[in-house]
Amino acid sequence: DGGITQSPKYLFRKEGQNVTLSCEQNLNHDAMYWYRQDPGQGLRLIYYSQIVNDFQKGDIAEGYSVSREKKESFPLTVTSAQKNPTAFYLCASSPSVGGNQPQHFGDGTRLSIL
């Protein structure tokens, strides 16, 4: 089935450690996105990418990094510079950036600090 796969579902990070969250899609979508969701709050955009080897900062990019080496993959690295990384991270994709087609989401990765 076509869809977006995020892994792992749960992730624990030690202080000062970088961690990478995986996001893979087989929908042949050009655009991919990373959001962060905190308890009881809405989603905040971290980064998005409209095409391979290109990405743009969202509202809260500080302390995060991304890469887009393949169309189907958009991994997110949470660096030690992110002081409050505990959150639910959601990856999404859409056919293209700027269109009215909806974004479709994966099932998320919940990151916690040990």
* Interacting residue ranges for another protein, rule: CB under 8 A: 4, 6, 31, 33, 35, 40, 42-45, 48, 56, 58-59, 88, 90, 92, 97-100, 102-108, 110
Tell me the HSE value of 52 on the side-chain side, using a 13 A CA sphere: 6
Closer residue to another protein (CB): 62 or 107: 107
Mapped onto helix, strand or coil, the DSSP state of residue 51 is strand
Closer residue to another protein (CB): 60 or 80: 60
Angle at 27 between CA 22 and CA 28, to 5 degrees: 100
Question: Cβ of residue 80: shortest distance to another protein, in angstroms?
Answer: 25
Question: Cβ of residue 37: shortest distance to another protein, in angstroms?
Answer: 8
Choose among 30, 56, 53, 40: nearest CA to 88.
Answer: 40
Question: Cβ of residue 42: shortest distance to another protein, in angstroms?
Answer: 3
Cβ neighbours for 1, distance < 8 A, ≥ 6 positions apart: none
Closer residue to another protein (CB): 71 or 104: 104
Burial label, 11 (beta-carbon count in 10 A; 0-12, 13-18, 19+)? middle
Question: Cβ of residue 16: shortest distance to another protein, in angstroms?
Answer: 28
Closer residue to another protein (CB): 6 or 82: 6
